[in-house]
Every structure is written in C-alpha cells, then in structure tokens.
Amino acid sequence: MLGQVLPVDRDGLAREPVPEAVERQAAGLAASGSLEIGALRPKDAHAIAEILPSGTPVFVNHLPRHPLAQAIPALLALREAGLEPVPHLAARRIESAAELRHFLARATAEAGVRRALVIGGDLARPLGPYADGRALLAEPALAAHGLREIVLPSYPEGHPRIPLATLEADLAAKLEGAAARGFGTTLLTQFCFQPARIIEHVALLRRRYPELGVQIGLAGPSSPAALLRFARACGVGATLLALSRDGRRAVDLVTHTDPSEQLLALARHLAPLPQSNVVGIHLFSFGAVEAAAAWLNAVMRGGRHARA
C-alpha cells in the first residue's frame, strides 16, 4: 500500500498512515494515467507492455531537428504491443503541410492513432507553415486523417517565454477552434515540483472550463541530474528559483526524485471532492521509461514504488 512501502521519511521519522480514501484516489489517477517514450526508441514499447495494462496511453515525443516520420516505428510498436499510441505534434518543428499529411496518413492508418498532443515546439523560428499550436489546429488534415481527440498543454507555473495573458487567450482560442472542428479535448499540465501550485491551477481551470478534463503531468522516477536538466529545459524555473532560496528544500528536490509524494498531495486534495476535472496523471519519463512504467503499475495496484 502507498503508506506501507515507505513508512519513514528521509530523516527516519515515521510517516503518518495514508487514509484509504486517498490511496484509492491515487490508484484511480494512476489507472487513468499515461507516460511517454522517445520517438527513436520503439524497443521500449514491448518492454513497458509487459508492465502496463493493455490500452495504456503512451505519448511519443517529437524531437527537435527530426522529421515526424521518425516517430512512426515507435507508434507502430506501441500498437503492436497492445498500448495506445499518442504522438506529439510540435507545430514549429514541422517543415511542410505535406510532411504533416504524410505522417498523419501513416499514423492513423497503420498505428490506429486517434489522439495527438499539439504543442508549439519552442523554436525561435518555425521550420514551416505552422507558427504555433493554434495554427496547427486549423489544419484540415488533422480531422481529415481521422484524429478524434486533441491534447493541449497547460502550464501551472506559466511559460518562460509567453506572457500569462497570452497563454490564457491562446488556450481559449484553441479550445474554441478544436470544438468547432469536432475534436474532443483534454489538457496536460507541465510537470511542477509544487503540488499547491498544481492544485491552484486545476481549480482555476475548473472555474473557467468546468467540462474540460485535465491530466496532471508529474516528473517520473529519475536521477537528480536528469531531473534538474529537464526542469531547466522545460521552463519550470519558478519552482527552481523558489527552492534555491531555501537550501534545505533545494537539497530535498535534487535527492527526492520519486513522484509519490506529489501524487499523494494531489490525491489528498481530490479525495473529499464530489467531482473533479482531473482525469488522470501523466509521467514525464526523461528516458527512464521502464522505471516510470513500473512506478505507475505499482500505484495502480495500490502500492508505492520503492526508491533504490
């Protein structure tokens, strides 16, 4: 059980037992969860399929300076392994509408893709006709080739290069555009090391968009060095800045790389609520995909993945 596998904290002090309702909430969030693999690592599909339930959504990233087509083997491997492939579509990294159409034709026909994560891509200049995720959503090829659901990013700590007001207006426009084109839509939050900020963000989204499901992104089990490297690359600097002002908390961050405590904080908040817009969690695996899959499976089963 979540409270039994790790009964003490890093100081050797006894942890308080985790209430059963909180454990059930955490297990439910994991059971509706997902993770991601690298576009160039199709072999990971079969490894994690031995760990995860059939049909688990697995996102496939869209690497900078790599064409979309390089993700096809990973998408095919996931489908063949009994998992649900969900490609990233990074708007500014797509060189042409033809590249997008060719990719979608193969991804939907050969790998059965019906859902995709649409992101901007964070390049200084777009490589092709799509300046941002909003422009990509307006591309008729997405629906024409059979996509049915779009996942959009959301940022509990804001975006390092986009003002908050712009983010909010852009999300509203994307949701309106997706609905007009008949897409189902969910949000996926960027990972963040402060559960309170995630909870505030989710509550704000529920007030603005009460019918919109939100998947909470968590940093998966990882080495301290990898965690900090990806945190900086992904723009979660507000957390890092806050922690740097408190030496002990900074040490906690770089030595505590298991997502269980963040999940428990979220589950404690959600357990008493009669309804919630949170539909599951998503693990950013940072290359440690088998460790992420093992952790997710353990929590689904009501356990807690022990640290090495």
pLDDT tens readout for residues 91-102: 999 999 999 999
Residue 255 CA to chain centroid, in angstroms? 22
Residue 166 pLDDT more than 80?
yes
Cβ atoms of 83 and 49 closer than 8 Å: yes
pLDDT-derived band at 302, boundaries 50, 70, 90: confident
CA atoms in the 13 A half-sphere facing the CB of 260: 24
* Domain annotation for the chain: domains and CATH numbers: 2-300 (3.20.20.220)
Among the ranges given (61-65, 136-140, 141-145, 211-215), the one the predictor scored with the smallest mean pLDDT: 61-65
Mean pLDDT of 157-162: 86
Give the tens place of pLDDT for each residue, 266-288: 999 999 998 999 999 999 998 89
| pLDDT for position 122 | 81
| pLDDT for position 50 | 97
Among the ranges given (109-113, 131-135, 224-228), the one the predictor scored with the smallest mean pLDDT: 224-228
| Largest pairwise CA distance in the chain | 59
Collapsed DSSP state (helix, strand, coil) of residue 101: helix
Mean pLDDT of 217-232: 70
* DSSP element (H, E) containing 187: strand 184-189
Residue 246 pLDDT more than 50?
no
| pLDDT for position 213 | 97
Collapsed DSSP state (helix, strand, coil) of residue 142: helix
Residue 188 pLDDT more than 90?
yes
Residue 106 pLDDT more than 50?
yes
| pLDDT for position 261 | 87
pLDDT-derived band at 228, boundaries 50, 70, 90: low
* DSSP element (H, E) containing 184: strand 184-189
| pLDDT for position 241 | 52
The number of beta carbons lying within 10 Å of the beta carbon of residue 64 is 12
Enter the pTM of the model.
0.88
| pLDDT for position 159 | 85
Strands 84-90 and 57-60 come out as parallel
Q: What whole-number distance in Å separates Cα of residue 127 and Cα of residue 66?
A: 11
Residue 11 pLDDT more than 50?
no
Mean pLDDT of 11-26: 76
The number of beta carbons lying within 10 Å of the beta carbon of residue 30 is 21
| pLDDT for position 239 | 53
Q: Tell me the angle at which helices 237-244 and 224-233 cross, rounded to the nearest 10 degrees.
A: 120
| pLDDT for position 90 | 97
| pLDDT for position 15 | 59
| pLDDT for position 65 | 85
